[in-house]
Amino acid sequence: MNDSDEGLLKPGIEKYALDHTSDEMPVLAKLSRATHLRTHQPQMLSGHLQGAFLQMLSHMIQPAAILEIGTFTGYSAICLAQGLKPGGMLHTIDCNPEMDDFTKPYFEEAGLTDKICMYTGNAIEIITQLEGPFDLVFIDADKENYCHYFEMVLPKVSAGGYILADNTLWYGRVVLPGAESDRESLGIIRFNKFVQQHPDVDNVLLPVRDGITIIRKKTR
Ligand SMILES: C[S@@+](CC[C@H](N)C(=O)[O-])C[C@H]1O[C@@H](n2cnc3c(N)ncnc32)[C@H](O)[C@@H]1O
């Protein structure tokens, strides 16, 4: 194994990054604990470092409207909502009906009840009912549908607006031989190629946590 085969983060580097990142908001720390205690797949939660990154991006973009595909327990929704313009709204979709009740107390504690609108159901159906325009979209649901979500939301993104996609390195499987034989890896590999070749966007795939792609819709 040579240097380029090793993971980006040497042991201890993620901890060092966290130790030198603004503290996690108390409501997010509480939500993270509850997610680890009460859900079967707590690793789906964005977590402190990625959450701080989402929060920072949202503050930079200052969106009036955000769409999130994949709420889970609401961690990333709370982070993204921090950058909303006054009067702005975050729309978030999850197919798991248990998430609505789980998230409510935390959205309330974060003072976001009036700024977050939650939809329960299949994102493919719900997105068709939402008009936009959205200044920021976060794609973080089933990997097989990433291309589909991208094509559905792009016309609803404002010119110069952004789409973020999570897990675009998919535990590093994207570079493993034979990765295309499993549906989720194939979904991510297809998405990464599709976005990079799409004439209406610019993008950068950052090796942060499990890979986050930042996509900007061109203004022309
Ligand atoms: C990785 S988790 C989202 C994590 C969350 N964004 C965060 O960072 O804390 C993915 C979520 O997508 C939801 N999901 C999967 N397929 C979906 C679909 N077709 N429509 C809506 N939600 C879906 C799952 O129920 C799950 O809660």
Put simply, whether the predicted model's pTM sits higher than 0.85 gets the answer: yes
Q: Quick check: 138 and 76 in contact, CB under 8 A?
A: yes
The tens digit of pLDDT for each residue in 178-190 reads 888 899 999 999 9
Provide the pLDDT confidence category of residue 1 given band limits of 50, 70 and 90. very low
Ligand 1 midpoint to CA 142 (Å): 7
116 forms beta bridges with 90
- Residues contacting ligand 1 via CB (< 6 Å): 44-46, 70, 72, 75-76, 93-96, 122-123, 140-142
Ligand 1 midpoint to CA 92 (Å): 10
Q: Annotate 135-191 with DSSP letters as a single string.
A: EEEEE-S-GGGHHHHHHHHGGGEEEEEEEEEE-TTGGGGGGSTTGGGSHHHHHHHHH
Pocket test for ligand 1, best of 72, 119, 126, 167 (most atoms within 8 A of CB): 72
Q: Which CATH architecture has domain 3-217?
A: 3-Layer(aba) Sandwich (3.40)
Please report, for the chain, the start and end positions of each structural domain, with discontinuous segments joined by +.
3-217
The tens digit of pLDDT for each residue in 160-208 reads 999 999 999 999 999 999 888 899 999 999 999 999 999 999 999 999 8
